[in-house]
Amino acid sequence: MNSLRHLLSAAAIGTLLLSCCGMPSETDRRVERLLGQMTLAEKVGQMAQLTIEPFILADGEGGFTLDTALLREAVVDYGVGSLLNVPLSESQPAEVWGSFIAELQRIATDETRMGIPLIYGVDQVHGGTYSLGSTLFPQQIALAATWNPAHARRMGEITAYEMRACNIPWNFAPILDLGADPRFPRQYEGFGEDPYLGSVLGRELVKGQEGDANDVDHPEHVATCLKHFLGYSVPASGKDRTPANIPWSTLLEYHLPAFRAALDAGARSVMVNSGIIDNCPVHASHRILTGLLRDELGFDGVVVTDYEDLEKLHARDRLAATSKEAIRLGINAGIDMAMIPIDYRGFCRDLRELAEEGAVPMSRIDEAVRRILKLKFELGLFERPNTRPADYPLYGCDEHRQASYAAAAEAITLLKNDGALLPLDPAAGKRILVCGPNAESRRALCGGWTVTWQGHGIERHPELCKTLAEAIGERFGARNVEVIPGVSYQAHESRYDTEHRDRFDEAAAAARRADVVVLCLGENSYCEKPGDLNDLALDPLQTELAERVIAAGKPVVLVLSEGRPRLISKFSAKIPAIVQSYLPGPQGADAVADVLAGAVNPSGKLPYTYPAFPNSLSVYYHKYADEQRNTDATYKYEGDYNPEFVFGHGLSYTTFAYSGAKLTHEGDEIVIAVDVANTGDRAGREVVQLYSRDLYASLIPDVKRLRRFEKIALQPGETRTVEFHLTTDDLAFYDLENRRIAEPGDFLFEIGSSSSDIRATLNYNLQK
């Protein structure tokens, strides 16, 4: 056995690159001692990350064994230092995770010269994505709709606990891409369109996983990996991994804040944007990966590529004439670890040659390996390379599932409720028709990254997730509920099952018999490129079903389950009640049913703008704040922002009144207070939102920007004073010279229940 403790006594060099702000830490010293003993081949191996699939031998009965001979070649002969992904591309029980990663670690620590443990990473993006029986939460877009940072913190804590139960120390999450384009298929993975909302929730998700002290060696904490740095989510085509055009000031103003907040919270690693910005693939962008991330933001953690993205510099982007040249470009730009993910022989050979030729400086190799080793030391992998499932008795427990339910229930957003159609009284005995493709679809509730990459695996585990039809039947009585999907999805695709296309007549007839129709529409699950689309409008089959059901003349409640806002304007005006559930996860059906029945008073707010038209996809912080002042009718700007529902919108079964707004300031601090009262007859939660408007600026100002928010719970008749604290830096912006400045001048603060439902305004003048 080659134990590391017998090797760390040798002196090493390389401390010149350690912090110059004081004496190096014990971890830094351990890293340098180890680094000084490593060969070039061993260093290069640490920079390689492989997917587990080539090392899996399926047994034909749903199980697998490891190809230990091939593993030894990769880990022992080539020194590969990291693995990722899930065996058989499907969720595995904690016991399976624990045992096979332990075998990987045994090979790495016992059979290699240096005994360096592996670091294993998985995309556990909304709870235990790939851990069977673990706690799955709503997707991040639904967490954003809660406007309650406590849910992000709790999801992070539970995710970390249950990952460690599976012997996995590294999570490729949170996703902090700005959700400013509803066409983008990964919008549901992030926190929506607002930079500030994403910053608050992203910070809490990091702290939930890494701990307040970022002590990731704690057996219930994991290292986070922020993705995808930077500007990934707004490609010009709206399609995944296609080019974007983003001015640098825009990148800094809107896309950077959530990442900056998460880095300030101590996040240990960053994954790179797979796309192209202004004709430069981000994996080759020294300006972004070194100039911005390292030099300006001071990040000293690990930068890892996304899947096969170094090779894409050659094969897709034609930036490099060979795979070797692609490696040179990416490593010199600032990448520390390459998610290869298969051809470790070629990568390791090419990078060794590049170092020997001087095309990649040895200092760059040492810098990358230093960061990787430091992360492994910080995770405690040298002392404890494995954690055991038996030590985590709360794995998938009722308490954890209740936390998932609480997040789902608080996320659900009541978009429309004409005539107070909702809530429905379970005791009234009304006949309810539940129809639409999402009525019996678990995939539609959970989305991608659920048991399998595309999310279809959840249908093989009905014990994990109720359907909407099942939950509604439980609340309102099975004999009162009739279920006719009308159209259903195919088992493994996002397309429709043609055998259900002719059930429109049946659904329309059932609607005429019913007292109320619950119409369950939206999307099937998808992830990444398979989620690309050519038409943001809801599918024609669903639109036709909606129109047929509406024509029956009965009240309709539309329940949306979707990863991005699909256009519903062709029929939305004819529907009195609309409920957005986003992708609420396995507890989502119960949460939706409880909202419909009035057991839960909805309090979610839209974390994005819900568009009405395909050519009107503006975010709420668009330009042209004072279009009503334009007297030339030909050039009025009211069409710049005309959504179906505005950012921050969400109704309640109670009502809230705002009064007594006041502003005080002393020096750099601004304090804004407002009284909020529950004027209805139900307890409820309200999200109090504070926006600022820069009335005139040297760069055309946004119409408004969210600056603070607070979610409060009020009993009927209760009043609470909400107080917001800001500084003048909150009013700053990046100008066209990429300088962050706070310009003197007049500002307007707006306080309200959404970005357009403003209840109080306050003037403020920023002095020089």
Phi, psi torsion values for 134, nearest 5 degrees: -80, 180
Q: Catalytic site residue 215?
A: no
Contact assessment for residue 234 and residue 254, using Cβ atoms and an 8 Å cutoff: no
Helix, strand, coil shares, percent, the chain, to 5: 35, 20, 40
Which contiguous run of DSSP H or E holds residue 205? helix 195-210
Task: Quote the number of domains for the chain.
Answer: 3
577 in the same domain as 485: yes
pLDDT of 14 > 90? The answer is no
Name the residue with higher pLDDT: 60 or 377. Answer: 377
Q: What are the tens digits of pLDDT across the range 165-219?
A: 999 999 999 999 999 999 999 999 999 999 999 999 999 999 999 999 999 999 9
* Same domain assignment for residues 146 and 117: yes
Single out the residue of 60, 66, 16, 65 nearest to residue 36, CA to CA: 16
Q: What is the pLDDT of residues 614-628, one digit of tens each?
A: 988 999 999 865 545
CATH of the domain at 654: 2.60.40.10
The secondary structure of residue 535, as a DSSP letter, is -
| Helix 149-165, helix 195-210: angle, nearest 10 | 40
Burial of 477 (0-12, 13-18, 19+ CB in 10 A): middle
Give the C-alpha separation, 527 to 7, whole Å. Answer: 45
Is the domain of 264 the same as that of 365?
yes
3-state secondary structure of 507: helix
Same domain, 760 and 713: yes
Residue 229 CB partners (closer than 8 Å, separation 6+): 259, 270, 271, 272, 273, 282, 288, 289, 293, 303
Q: Is residue 262 domain-resident?
A: yes
Q: Domain for residue 295, yes or no?
A: no
Per residue in 67-86, pLDDT (tens digit) is: 999 999 999 999 999 999 99
If one compares 11 and 400, the residue with the highest pLDDT of the two is 400
493 inside domain: yes
Active-site pick, 306, 366, 590, 702: 306
308-358 tens-digit pLDDT: 999 999 999 999 999 999 999 999 999 999 999 999 999 999 999 999 999
> What pLDDT was estimated at residue 634?
53
Domain for residue 635, yes or no?
Answer: no
Residue 286 domain-assigned (yes or no): no
385/504 same-domain check? no
478 and 376 within one domain: no
Which segments within 590-699 are labelled E, that is strand? 656-666, 669-678, 684-694
Q: Rounded to whole angstroms, what are the CA distances from 576 to 226, 452, 475?
A: 40, 36, 21
Tokens 């009718």 belong to: 633
Radius of gyration for the chain, computed over Cα atoms and rounded to the nearest angstrom: 27
Question: Are 266 and 366 found together in one domain?
Answer: yes
If you search the block for the tokens 């170092």, which residue do you land on? 355
Please report, in angstroms and rounded to a whole number, the separation of the first and last CA atoms in the chain: 68
Contacts of residue 378, defined as CB under 8 A and 6 or more positions apart, other chains included, come to 27, 216, 217, 223, 268
Q: Which amino acid is at 274?
A: S
CATH code, domain with 541 = 3.40.50.1700
Same domain for 456 and 575, yes or no, is yes
Is residue 399 one of the residues assigned to a domain?
no
Are 274 and 312 spatial neighbours (Cβ–Cβ below 8 Å)?
yes
**Structural domain contains residue 33:** no
Distance (Å, rounded) from C-alpha 617 to C-alpha 437? Answer: 26
Query: pLDDT by residue (tens digit) across 667-725?
Result: 899 999 999 999 999 999 999 999 999 999 999 999 999 999 999 999 999 999 999 99
Rounded Cα gap, residues 478 and 480, in angstroms = 5
Same domain, 578 and 654: no
DSSP one-letter code for 422: P
Query: Is 508 found in the same domain as 454?
Result: yes
Domain range holding 688? 650-766
The model's pLDDT over 506-547, given as tens digits with 9 standing for 90+, comes to 999 999 999 999 999 999 999 999 999 999 999 899 999 999
Asked if residue 281 is part of any domain, the answer here is: no
Instruction: Please indicate, yes or no, whether residues 56 and 114 belong to a single structural domain of this protein.
Output: yes
For residues 106 and 73, membership in a common domain is answered with yes
Please, which residues have CB within 8 angstroms of residue 302's CB and are 6 or more apart in sequence? 225, 268, 269, 270, 336, 337, 371, 372, 375
Q: pTM for the full model?
A: 0.94
Q: What pLDDT is attached to residue 62?
A: 86
Q: Kindly indicate the confidence band of residue 18, based on its pLDDT and cuts at 50, 70 and 90.
A: very low
DSSP per-residue letters across 290-325: IIIIIIIT---SEEE--TTHHHHHHHTT--SSSHHH
* Domain end among 391, 423, 458: 391
Sign of CA dihedral 82, 87, 93, 96: negative
User: How high is the pLDDT of residue 306?
Assistant: 97
